[in-house]
Amino acid sequence: FVLYERAAVPLAPALAEAAHVRTPLALAAGPEGGLSAAEVDAARAAGFQEAGLGPRILRTETVPAAVLGAVLVARQLRPRATG
């Protein structure tokens, strides 16, 4: 995912879906002040899906902790395979 403040898709449902299907995750976040449209276009061209954190503006150094915490929670909530 490329985390973009103008993304139409929120990260939470996209992350839940990725956790459900056991997709490997890669996250890209920009500097304080956000990513430029050209940077987001380049990320999309490289295969990243655009997603947003909603109205929150996080400091660059807090993004990894916040997003990794969400990943851990999403993976724990993932339905477990029975068998």
Instruction: Give the pLDDT confidence of 32-63 residue by residue, as tens digits.
Output: 888 999 999 999 999 999 999 888 788 888 98
Q: Does the pLDDT value for residue 81 go beyond 70? A: no
Let me know: does 40 contact 4? Beta carbons within 8 Å: yes
pTM of the model: 0.77
Beta bridge partners of 9: none
φ and ψ at 74, to 5 degrees? -60, -40
For the chain, give the number of residues: 83
The whole-chain average pLDDT of the chain stands at 85
Q: Does the pLDDT value for residue 70 go beyond 70? A: yes
Sign of the CA dihedral running 23, 70, 44, 26: negative
Instruction: Please give the Cα distance from 77 to 19 (Å, whole number).
Output: 9
Q: Does the pLDDT value for residue 20 go beyond 80? A: no
Let me know: does 70 contact 29? Beta carbons within 8 Å: no
